[in-house]
Structure 1
Amino acid sequence: MGLFDRLRQRFGSGSTVITPPPPAPRYAPASPPVFTTRPPLVALAPPSRPAAQREPAAPAPEWVPPGTTTTVAGRSLPGGMIYVGKLPHGEAALRRNVEVIDPRLPIDWRNPDFAGQDMDYWPAYQSITPRSRAAYLLWLESGRWAPDAYIGYVFLYFYGLERRALVDAQQDPAARADLPRILGEVVRLLTVYGVNSSFHQYATEFQQVLCALITRGEGAAPDPDEHDRWSPPLMLRLGIGRFAAEGRPVPVDWAWAWAMLHPEIYSRTPATRCPDEFRTLFTARYQARYADGIKIRPLKSRVALSYRPASGGLRATSWQLDVPDVLTAAAPTKALKALVESCTDDLDAYSRLIGRQPEAAGTLPALALLPDELFTVGLDGMRPMRDLVDRTLPDDVRQARFELADLTSLWPSRTPGKFAKADAVGLAQLLDKLGIGIEPDVRMGASVHSAGPAVLFRVTAAQPTTATPEYTAATTLLHLAAVVSAADDDVSAAERDHLVSHLESSLNLTPGERVRLTAHLDWLLASKLKLTGLTKRLGALTDAQRTHVAQFATAIAAVDGVVSPGEVDTLRKIYKLLGQEPDSVYTELHALTATSARPAPATEPVVVVPADTGPTGYLIPPPPKPEPPAGAIRLDPALVEAKMRESAAVAALLADVFDDEPDEVAPQPPAPVAAVDLVGSLDAAHSALLRKLTVRPFWNRADFDALCAEVALLPEGALDVLNEAAVEASEEPVVEEDDDQLVINDYAMGELLA
């Protein structure tokens, strides 16, 4: 039972009594008032008295200071912040003093109008009925907190707060000193009566005006969660304008509020689905990009403060403050929009995973998708992997072998019992964040492995995430040489290292590719490389293709212009593996050998010694080139370079040969999406799916998945795309999840299809 209900039960109903009331008892402010006696009623028309016995005339209306108790009609009204006194004469004066409590006016204590049945839309104390005055004064006496009070009485009290801040405070220092207490009272009233939409709108706008009048844009940044981006708070305009006027950089908390409340910046789904990660990422990137903060050039336009009071006795108020209005200035808007977009883009993959599997937060797959700024090795979910890396690669070790199953067992795969390519990619991405590389790496063209030997290495140079043709050629030829080495032990480690150095220099590999190639060789040597199966796969190549591979292998060995006897032996073995005559190595090398053709006879005078037009003195000769080893063959660099240009074609050919993955059945291409009218920015597939959803208000998961399959879309990704488009169009998602059902939002659907 509400307070007003209890008051109704206590007072009951009856006829009006015309005797003046005695003082009523006081009530403890910590609890609602409990009436122990029925208070008498104030006379509607008090009887006349002899002049000597009349009470003194009521004083002119005055503001009762905050925290002060005043008495009206025998009732003690605690808290102050009301106007009490005799109203001036004249209709215009009455209209301007709607909030003033005139103690001379009659009050019907017997029949308080708690429900506000007699109240006008714009009430004034002097014009409401005696019954309404009784209910209003009882509400004031009870502490102004009863949640079931008629909202018109709250507004009547609110009118006085408006007058004190908008009229008195403009000239009276004492009134300006009351502004913080008035602000606190408005905030309190919002917590009790903010459910009323009309009061919430007026009180919220008044709160912003009070904040602006009190702080003038100084202090803490407004909280975006407490405001609407379509009507940015005045405090934000004032604060950002002050930074511009004073030439100060905008701190990160103000930049955050600015971006989140900017009417032209939309942060998309990741910002709402992962709010903590989004704000942390925004903060990190803003500080990294702008250090102390972005600086804004002040504009000529000024911040305008305007407010239309709820009180019928006050006119609309407006001021133009001496603060530039830069909230939507082009340059900072563009910078903030780009920053927000970069954060949402880089959080998109993580957001989609959390949207599909909320329980995945904190797991290794989720951590692998976090942007680098949000990743720290101290995360709880990283401990098992960090321990394995520390054991495998102590501080003084740059590269080491380990058992791959020890690592893949820590990864919760998407399909139980199967370590898919997506899992292998995620694992490699997570190791990247630790500054660690792994071989084999599926991103560089390797097959998916969940067990067997593997190599971890410290990343000392920027690592590529996709294989270039040059790197693919190097790894495949290295694989071929390693297989030859495994066939017999005649090729030494020194010869293999020499081949690696040849590949690195001849194919112009980047420093990162060179680091990885060394680890790749270590993995090859740790693997059980056999000729079984390889000879068969090489035999499937045509004679021309095998000859092409043999010639390219020769060019790799000869890239430095010299082929040593040891390299010739390795080439002979490769030729034999390719089904070529081993002695044809010499024929191929002869084709690359430098020739010294005799010059043609001169037909005109020949310059024997050019004229000396340079500076006098002696030039220091360059150091002599090292002599090739005994028995080495000199080659023509131009011819070798021509062969090296074929690296991409040979790499693609060898990549198929060394692919150990079983042949997969090629998936059937999805049926083409029938011609459909595009919806907004959606493509044909998503537009078709959206139109299919319009035929029913509810969809179960199985039927929705079937619809997605018809247009070749993944269900979860399609949901995100449709809802993001709907939020942009209507600020609401078009498909909402309700247990096992998907509910179509008719309003959002209509906005999308409009």
Structure 2
Amino acid sequence: MSTSRVAPPAGVPPLPPDPPVPLPPPAVTRSVDDELVRHVVEAPEHVEILPSKLPPAPVSAQRPRWIGFHEVVSLADITLTGGGFYFGRSTTSSIGVDACVIDTRQPVATKGDITQGPEEYWPNYAQLTPHQRRGYFTWLSSGRSQPECSIGFVFLYFYGLERRVIVDGEKMPGARAEWPDIAEEIRRLLSIYGDCSPSFRRCASNLLEWIELSNASKKLYAISPPHFPPAYEVPIYLRLALGQAAVDRVPVPAELALAWVRHSPTIRLRTPATRCPVEFESLFTLRYHEVFGAGLSLPRNKTKLKFVYRPANYGVQTANLTLSFGDVPDVTVLTGPNRKLQELVDQCTDELSGYSRVIGRNPEASNTLDGLIHLPRVLWPEAARQRVQELASRIDGYGNTMTLEDFLDALGGTTQNITREKLSNVAELLGEHGLGLEPDVTAGARVPSAKSPVVVFRVPPDIRHQEDPGRYHVSQLTLQLASAVARADGVFSDDEAAHLNREIAAWAHLSPHDIARLHAHLEWLRRVPVTLTSLKAKLEPLPTSTREALAASMATLTQADGNVSPDELIFLEKVYKALGVDAKRVFTDVHTSAPGTPARPTASKPGFALDHERVAALQRDTDRVSALLADIFKEDSDADPVLPMLPAEEDEDPTQATEGLWDLDEDHSSLARLLLTRPQWARSELEDAASDLGLMLDGALERINEACLDVHDIPLVEGDDPLEVSVEIMEIIEA
């Protein structure tokens, strides 16, 4: 082709012709098979773009061949690593089995965009523009993982994988050796592009199932199920495993039941199950065995299982794209097993709801005490269990005293405010490990500050407070009064503490748990002074006889260290007044209670014991005042730090049923979902399915079609035998 020219004016000699413009030598690029390629060369507009002139490639190189995942080929100026496609000269340019072949005769531009792919429903390499081919090569050579890539390119690549499995797998036995690698590649693609295109998710999931079923053993329930991406229906692999278990009358293993739960469109997973998947899986497995023992038993129903493969590329044609499994039933059509599993799922979700809310508010709390105290104890990680055991190993005597902050740090630490709820949960945790915490916030004690002392102590195993807490509360009040008396002279001596510990041990009307807690409470009282003013509100409701018994016991305490100081006598008078007992009795009670005097019997051990008759009277009185004491021992909690209420989960209502398809009831919805698994059904197959659900087929189909018409303006099924399922509705549901 020559350049256009304008004729010169008259009388002007013509210019000599332009010298020929030399063409730049084409950059020859050969494939791995030395195949000839056409190049796009940037040149001035007047330069014609010509194909390279090289000897033709051998005939063997003209046929497209599969490039394995470990092979490397070059085309134009791009090196393609990773394989997984067909390369060579396509036998046809029409849409068909060769649509995926990278035809080495087709031109490739120097620039391309991975986002500007083919818009046709069935893409074809031969019909791509040169710029699109460059974009496709760019994606293939750069990891094939960019989420923004055109889904048309992804489908084109997927066509090659499908051809290798469906076509070559039938003709070339050696091709099956690559199926595990192809399955892994499909899973990778689904993780990136599955959410971008429901159509791709369906096609890729179907091919993945074909691979798994073709390589599966005969007893699928006996092996761990492979991972399947989320899909509209229960994968055929899992349905086959469940059907085999029904035929063999084998209980469904927990792992298979969990896979069923995760993939069933009729089982509702609330937020905790999806936000905390690892914890949900562990808890489901534990509770599953508690409820079903060896596993859920399934009936052998009439609906037979069949898998019809629908190729992504309709040009892929083979003799058989249907897998049948004899008399193996499709048990997922039944509503009974689904209801049982839904109940178990709701139970596990309820147990995880508190943990889920904390993690939803602060994901970092999963490994701290903030989150762990809401996690069921059976799910505690080993490191957390070890921390509790280490804390328990350090406890001796009547208990170990430390600040609340140090105590919480020993259990894993907290990043949030210390609330009554949190400490109550911690106390419950300690109880499961044979430990207790003082002060007892579960009984209404005020929440200590971070720097305040707490006492961790051992309690007898499997023993809790008595049903009637009155006796314990009176004993606790006695101890609090006694600590105030002991501190009256400014020193709470070891002798006084030892005396009180002996008295606690002698209170036979209390349980071993209560006695252990009172010993720890005394340790706490030695570090946290109690004033008469703070006790006055607790003393006033007590009967006179109870208050007199408490006054007498305080008189005996003043002599525990062998000396009654003037300060103690003055403070004892205040105690009598606070108790409403005549203060003039202090002098008499102290002197008649002196050790060794005949007025009061002494214990055989050193020191003075409480008057047993008065103790007996006190025990009788506590039966009458226990209701009062249950209230007065609840501290004012207004000063406790309170966290804002955690936001409710979006779907925390366990009573909310799984929504039926098109507002159909459970049985009709189940039949409709079954219909959507295939484009065509024999009438006899659907009659069995309707029988399993207790439905009349014709009436059920009519109701399903009416519901589908109301929503989508087209019926779901047409025909009589076979019945055709609307592909349009199938694609809408998948989306």
Normalised-by-shorter TM-score class: 0.5 to 0.7
User: Is it true that 1:306 corresponds to 2:308 in the alignment?
Assistant: yes
Please say if residues 301 and 324 of structure 1, whose CA atoms lie closer than 8 Å, have aligned partners that are also in contact: yes
Secondary structure at 1:215 match in 2: coil
CA RMSD of aligned residues (A): 6.4
**What is the TM-score normalised by the length of structure 1?**
0.53
**What is the TM-score normalised by the length of structure 2?**
0.54
Query: Which residue pairs with 1:38 in the alignment?
Result: 51
The 2-side partners of 1:336 and 1:652 are apart by 44
User: Is it true that 1:502 corresponds to 2:509 in the alignment?
Assistant: yes
What letter corresponds to residue 333 of structure 1 in structure 2? N
What letter corresponds to residue 255 of structure 1 in structure 2? A
Query: Which residue pairs with 1:209 in the alignment?
Result: 210
Secondary structure at 1:366 match in 2: helix
Post-superposition offset of 1:470: 0.4
Please say if residues 472 and 514 of structure 2, whose CA atoms lie closer than 8 Å, have aligned partners that are also in contact: no
Q: 1:263 to 1:500 in 2, by over 3 A?
A: farther
What letter corresponds to residue 232 of structure 1 in structure 2? V
2:647 to 717, 720, 732: 717
Please say if residues 65 and 81 of structure 1, whose CA atoms lie closer than 8 Å, have aligned partners that are also in contact: yes
1:168-211 CA distance string (max 9 Å, x none)? 97xx6x55664554675576478679858345543332332232
1:605-644 equivalences in 2 (<5 Å): none
What letter corresponds to residue 348 of structure 1 in structure 2? S
1:575-598 CA distance string (max 9 Å, x none)? 99754699xxxxxxxxxxxxxxxx
The 2-side partners of 1:723 and 1:67 are apart by 51
Post-superposition offset of 1:436: 1.3
Please say if residues 301 and 325 of structure 1, whose CA atoms lie closer than 8 Å, have aligned partners that are also in contact: yes
Query: Which residue pairs with 1:617 in the alignment?
Result: none
The 1-side partners of 2:156 and 2:407 are apart by 70
What letter corresponds to residue 717 of structure 1 in structure 2? P
What letter corresponds to residue 508 of structure 2 in structure 1? S
What letter corresponds to residue 51 of structure 2 in structure 1? R
Q: 1:484 to 1:248 in 2, by over 3 A?
A: same
2:370 to 352, 359, 365: 365
Post-superposition offset of 1:652: 3.1
Post-superposition offset of 1:159: 6.8
Q: 1:499 to 1:245 in 2, by over 3 A?
A: same
Post-superposition offset of 1:237: 1.3
2:518 to 500, 517, 520: 520
Please say if residues 303 and 329 of structure 2, whose CA atoms lie closer than 8 Å, have aligned partners that are also in contact: yes
The 2-side partners of 1:721 and 1:79 are apart by 43
1:653 to 619, 625, 628: 628
The 2-side partners of 1:156 and 1:454 are apart by 68
1:636-680 CA distance string (max 9 Å, x none)? x9xx99x96x96761232345556x4585999xxxxxxxxxxxxx
Post-superposition offset of 1:357: 2.2
1:486-635 equivalences in 2 (<5 Å): 487=485, 496-497=503-504, 500-504=507-511, 514-524=512-522, 527=525, 532-533=532-533, 536-537=536-537, 540-541=540-541, 546-547=543-544, 578-579=579-580
Q: 1:317 to 1:662 in 2, by over 3 A?
A: closer
Secondary structure at 1:456 match in 2: strand
Q: 1:548 to 1:351 in 2, by over 3 A?
A: farther
1:196-345 equivalences in 2 (<5 Å): 197=197, 198-215=199-216, 218=220, 220-224=224-228, 226-228=229-231, 230-286=232-288, 293-312=295-314, 314=317, 317-322=321-326, 323-327=328-332, 329-330=334-335, 332-345=337-350
Please say if residues 403 and 453 of structure 1, whose CA atoms lie closer than 8 Å, have aligned partners that are also in contact: yes
User: Is it true that 1:27 corresponds to 2:25 in the alignment?
Assistant: no
Post-superposition offset of 1:142: 8.2
The 1-side partners of 2:523 and 2:203 are apart by 77
1:355 to 346, 353, 360: 360
The 2-side partners of 1:117 and 1:453 are apart by 69
Aligned residues: 527
Secondary structure at 2:272 match in 1: helix
Post-superposition offset of 1:410: 3.2
Q: Which has the higher contact order (CA 8 A, sep 6+)?
A: 2
What letter corresponds to residue 481 of structure 2 in structure 1? V
What letter corresponds to residue 329 of structure 2 in structure 1? P
Post-superposition offset of 1:351: 1.9
1:463-488 CA distance string (max 9 Å, x none)? 55xx7760244322452366369758
Post-superposition offset of 1:372: 0.9
1:419-444 CA distance string (max 9 Å, x none)? 54234324323423543112321112
Gaps spanning 5+ residues in structure 1: where? 1-23, 44-54, 70-76, 88-93, 126-130, 505-513, 555-572, 583-630, 668-711, 732-754
The 2-side partners of 1:161 and 1:525 are apart by 73
Query: Which residue pairs with 2:430 in the alignment?
Result: 431
Secondary structure at 1:533 match in 2: helix
What letter corresponds to residue 349 of structure 2 in structure 1? T
The 2-side partners of 1:165 and 1:550 are apart by 90
Secondary structure at 2:468 match in 1: helix
Post-superposition offset of 1:414: 6.9
Post-superposition offset of 1:119: 10
1:63-95 CA distance string (max 9 Å, x none)? 9788699xxxxxxx99897999999xxxxxx99
What letter corresponds to residue 258 of structure 2 in structure 1? W
Secondary structure at 1:305 match in 2: strand
The 2-side partners of 1:119 and 1:42 are apart by 36
The 2-side partners of 1:366 and 1:374 are apart by 12
Post-superposition offset of 1:123: 8.0
1:280-331 CA distance string (max 9 Å, x none)? 3334444666676545444332222123334445599544323322235455
Q: 1:574 to 1:29 in 2, by over 3 A?
A: farther
Q: Which is further off, 78-87 or 188-197?
A: 78-87
Please say if residues 440 and 454 of structure 1, whose CA atoms lie closer than 8 Å, have aligned partners that are also in contact: yes
Secondary structure at 2:331 match in 1: coil
Post-superposition offset of 1:216: 6.0
2:395 to 365, 370, 392: 392
The 2-side partners of 1:459 and 1:495 are apart by 18
